[in-house]
Amino acid sequence: MAKNRFFYILFILVCAVFSAAYQSRASAVLLTAALAYPVIAFVLTLISLFTVSADFAEKRSVHEKNETFEIPVLIRNNFIFPYAPAELHCTIPDADTGLFMKKQLYVAVAPFKRMRIFVPCMHRYRGSYISSISKVSVFDPLKIIRLTRKLDSRMQFIFLPRKIPLEELGFVFGGDRGTLRENRPGADKEDFSHVREYAVGDILQLIHWKLTAKHDDMMVKQYDTTGDRRCVILCNFTQDGAAASSVMRRSDAVIETAVAVAMSASRAGVKSFADTGAASGLTCDIADAGCFNRFYDMMSVLPPNFETIEFTELIQKYSLFDAAATFLITPIVNEEIFAAAETAASRLAGTLVLIYVNCKGRSDFAERDPNSRFVFAEVCGEMEENLPAAAEQILADYMRLN
């Protein structure tokens, strides 16, 4: 705008010289028009400023992280003066960087018109965020006058962690170690208990087709069971002085791994109990599909920073828990954690699995201790295919121990 103002001032000076040199009626009219334009434009722009409105078309939106989507933004012009263009000051997830950034959106709106624009967005990390339109600026046609007004338009975004199926883990839940529970297609007819809605990960052979056709929703047969097969999922959210970006990556990796394990346990007909290690005792009992959905929702909006107890203390706390499988999910490994896992494995009746979610993208372990009593797997990197590869590694180590 400074450039436009400079040229307009130069134009007024040229008009003044021209008017003084020729002293004609035309030159005088031209000079008067040049001097009057800024005053008239200021008045019209000021009126326009209070007749323009901008808002998000939605107040809440839910997407999976790394998913590309569009935000609809509504702009209305209730005045005869056109915008050329209006400028919106926003904080939105940028489609290129995958992070929330302050951006300016420009849109030209005709007089007495309303329009909708769609802004492409994407975000790297799961969690709950607020996007906002904080200001709107309008200009005169020559862009020598700019006026700004504050706005307070907000929209909530919830970015969900990925649900990555791990078919191989079913063997770990159904092993001979620990007290077992079974919910399978071959269960006896007299063990049939009730029918419930289908949940992601349920075995297709359990679908009750007659009720599915009747209710127009997938319904699954639920069988009573003879044992008490359980799985414990312990998460390590210790920050260890990491940078903010590293904390977010670690948090997401731990959460997506925990969700994948819980989903696999649910598919195998196994109840799960998850503990985040929060000092406030943030836990979840995952007994059925509804409980899994609540667990998934809780993990989706879990803040990356909260007070936790030491992971070794959390391992010790559950070292005598009666479970078919205990999963330790951590973005950090050290001698203390390995020692705690080894001690817990010697006490537990079931299998103990230590999953190291390594966000660095390169392996820290060329070889594993063949004499270890627990299963160890390293998820090397954040690509979606890395977790199933780790599940195959878990199964191989599990077969070695059994």
pLDDT of residue 190: 41
Position 198 scores a pLDDT of: 67
Q: What is the pTM of this model?
A: 0.74
- Mean pLDDT rounded to a whole number for the chain: 83
- Let me know whether 247 and 358 are in one domain: yes
What are the tens digits of pLDDT across the range 348-371? 888 899 999 988 777 776 566 667
Structure tokens at 310: 């030491």
Mean pLDDT across the stretch 127-133?
93
Tracing tokens 């349920």 back to the chain, one arrives at 202
- 155 and 238 in a single domain? The answer is no
| pLDDT digit string, tens, across residues 289-309 | 888 999 999 999 888 888 899
Within-domain flag for 389: yes
Reported confidence tier of residue 213, pLDDT bands at 50, 70, 90: confident
One domain for residues 171 and 136 = no
Strands 351-358, 325-330: pairing is: parallel
Segment 228-280, tens digit of pLDDT: 578 899 999 987 777 777 888 889 999 999 999 999 888 888 889 999 999 88
Q: How many CB atoms lie within 10 A of CB 176?
A: 9
149 or 245, which is more confident: 149
Work out the pLDDT band at 193, boundaries 50, 70, 90. Answer: low
Candidate from 49-58, 171-180, 191-200 with smallest mean pLDDT: 171-180
Sheet-wide strand order for 283-286:
283-286, 271-275, 230-235, 325-330, 351-358, 375-380
The verdict on 96 and 155 lying in the same domain is yes
More confident position, 86 or 196: 86
Q: Are residues 54 and 128 in the same domain?
A: yes
Residue 120 has a pLDDT of: 94
Whether residue 230 sits in one domain with residue 148 = no
pLDDT score, position 103: 92
Q: Are residues 243 and 378 in the same domain?
A: yes
Structure tokens of 84?
């050329």
Judge whether residue 23 has pLDDT over 90: no
Per DSSP, which regions of 171-270 are E strands?
Answer: 192-197, 219-223, 230-235
Amino acid at 96: D
pLDDT score at 186: 41
Query: For position 185, what pLDDT does the model report?
Result: 40
Band of residue 390 on the pLDDT scale cut at 50, 70, 90: confident
Residue 177 has pLDDT above 50, yes or no: no
In the structure encoding, which two tokens stand for residue 146, read together? 């700019």
Domain hosting 50: range is 1-160
Q: Are residues 118 and 178 in the same domain?
A: no
Which pLDDT does position 2 carry in this prediction?
84
CATH of the domain at 279: 3.40.50
> What is the model's pLDDT at position 372?
79
Residues 150 and 254 in one domain: no
Residue 208 has pLDDT above 90, yes or no: no
- Side-chain half-sphere exposure of 225, counting CA atoms within 13 A: 17
- What are the tens digits of pLDDT across the range 92-113? 999 999 899 999 998 888 888 8
In whole angstroms, give the CA distance from residue 32 to residue 11.
12
Residue 343 lies in a domain: yes
Alpha-helix runs per DSSP H in 229-288: 244-267
Rg, the chain, Cα only? 31
Q: Are 258 and 152 part of one and the same domain?
A: no
Do 11 and 42 lie in a common domain?
yes
SS3 360: coil
What are the tens digits of pLDDT across the range 304-331?
A: 888 899 999 999 988 877 788 899 999 9
Query: What pLDDT, on the 0 to 100 scale, is given for residue 108?
Result: 83
Report which of 390, 395, 385, 393 is spatially closest to residue 162, judged by C-alpha positions. Answer: 385
Q: Residue 236's pLDDT is what?
A: 94
Structural domain tally of the chain?
Answer: 2
- pLDDT of residue 121 exceeding 70, the answer is yes
Q: What local confidence, expressed as pLDDT, does residue 326 receive? A: 92
Write down the pLDDT at residue 288: 84
Of 366, 365, 308, 304, nearest in space to 334 by CA? 365
> Is residue 155 domain-shared with residue 286, that is, in the same domain?
no
Q: CA torsion sign, 307 to 313 to 319 to 322?
A: negative
Least Cα distance to 332 among 253, 231, 244, 264 occurs for 253
The pLDDT value recorded for residue 240 is 74
SS3 sequence of 317-359? HCCCCCCCEEEEEECCCCHHHHHHHHHHHHHCCCEEEEEEEEC
pLDDT bin (cut points 50, 70, 90) of residue 33 is: confident
Rounded Cα gap, residues 234 and 283, in angstroms: 9
